[in-house]
Amino acid sequence: MRLNKMTERVITTDLSAARDLIREIIREVEAAGYDKDDCFAIRLATEEALINAIKHGNKFDRSRKIRVSTDIDSQRVEITIADEGEGFDPASVPDPTADENLEKPCGRGIMLMRAYMDEVIYNDKGNEVRMIRNRFSGLPKIRKTSANILERKDD
Amino acid sequence: MTNPCNNNDFSISEHQKDNAVIVSIVGSVTTDKADELRERLEQIAAKQPPIIVLDISKMDFICSAGLGAIIIGYLKCRHHKGQVRIASPSDKIRELLETTRLDKLLDVFDTVEDALKG
């Protein structure tokens, strides 16, 4: 039997609302039988995406909303997070693992989302991200090469 | 019992051991806790200890903002030629440090004792 739980939620631009939502999502992921690695990965990616929506998308404006939809079945988890901001070009974000960026305190969120989820897809405007993780797909999704370049394991 | 996959508990404590300050970070370093961690590390670094050991054996989660807080502590410590050493990460947190390549910036040790020896 294919169990499938789709949920749509709207939260205010607020850290505590984000924290409560992450807890709810992880409870649902656990209830669907996902293991600790999956839960860790989904928790991390969801936290990073929600914080980006709050901070960079909605710029802490509490009058703006964040839409979050989750689609959880026995084989994969899909989470879509949309803010009401101007959007951005994710390709313009510097690689935080480059030697010259290692000491920067910020800028690792998108890289972590990509590292811990199987797919991370932005819409054209850059204010909505869809993240997919397949069950039991391990940690993390990227590896270091001898040239210190991070590549996806499945490339 | 607390579920480590969904734990939002967080605490920091510190104690002196010879010339080092051992900082124990317990629980989940989420974005809303990262400022508290940064402030605490900055306060400790301001006292200019030669070595700060971050005992993260009981840390079960850290986000990018938490990593940023540790980097700020590291940079502040470096001003006075002090060192920040990471001790006893779980497999998941060690993988996170390797994935972000922060293991190239911060020395990572299996135990607090190893970190104190350097």
pLDDT per residue over B28-72, tens digit each? 999 999 999 999 999 999 999 999 999 999 999 999 999 999 999
Residue B54 lies in a domain: yes
Q: Which two tokens stand for residue B71?
A: 């980097």
* Helix residue spans in chain A (DSSP H): 15-31, 36-52, 109-116
Return the CATH number at B75: 3.30.750.24
In-domain check, residue B12: no
Whether B13 is covered by a domain: the verdict is no
Query: Is residue B5 one of the residues assigned to a domain?
Result: no
Answer for the pair A42, A26: CB distance below 8 angstroms, yes or no: yes
CB pairs under 8 A between A and B: 83
**Contacts A43 to B, Cβ<8 Å:** 5-6, 61
Answer whether B106 touches A (CB < 8 Å).
no
- Strands (DSSP E) along chain A, which ranges? 4-12, 65-73, 76-82, 119-122, 128-134, 142-144, 150-152
Q: Count the domains in chain B.
A: 1
Q: What is the residue type of B25?
A: I
Quick check: B16 pLDDT over 90? yes
Q: Which amino acid, A16?
A: S
Side-chain-side CA neighbours of A104 within 13 Å: the count stands at 14
Domain that holds residue B113: 22-117
Neighboring chain B residues of A93 at a CB cutoff of 8 Å = none
- B67 inside 8 A of chain A by CB: yes
Q: Which has the closest alpha carbon to B67: B56, B83, B52, B82?
A: B56
The phi and psi torsions of B25 (rounded to 5 degrees) equal -110, 115
Domain with A126 in it: 4-152
Residues of A in contact with B92 (CB under 8 A): 37, 40, 139
Q: How confident is the model at residue A153 (pLDDT cuts 50, 70, 90)?
A: low
CB neighbours of residue A106 within 10 Å: 13
Per residue in A107-146, pLDDT tens?
999 999 999 999 999 999 999 999 999 998 887 865 544 4
Work out the minimum CA distance from A26 to partner chain B, whole angstroms.
7
Q: Is B10 on the interface with A (CB under 8 A)?
A: no
Q: With CB atoms and an 8 Å threshold, state whether A15 touches B8.
A: no
Closest to A73 measured CA to CA, from A22, A100, A38: A38
The CATH number of whichever domain residue A68 belongs to comes to: 3.30.565.10
Q: For residue B19, which amino acid is it?
A: N
For residues A60 and A55, what is the distance between their CA atoms, to the nearest angstrom? 6
Count structural domains, chain A: 1
Cβ contact A36–B4 (<8 Å): yes
Distance from B78 to chain A by nearest Cα, in Å? 11
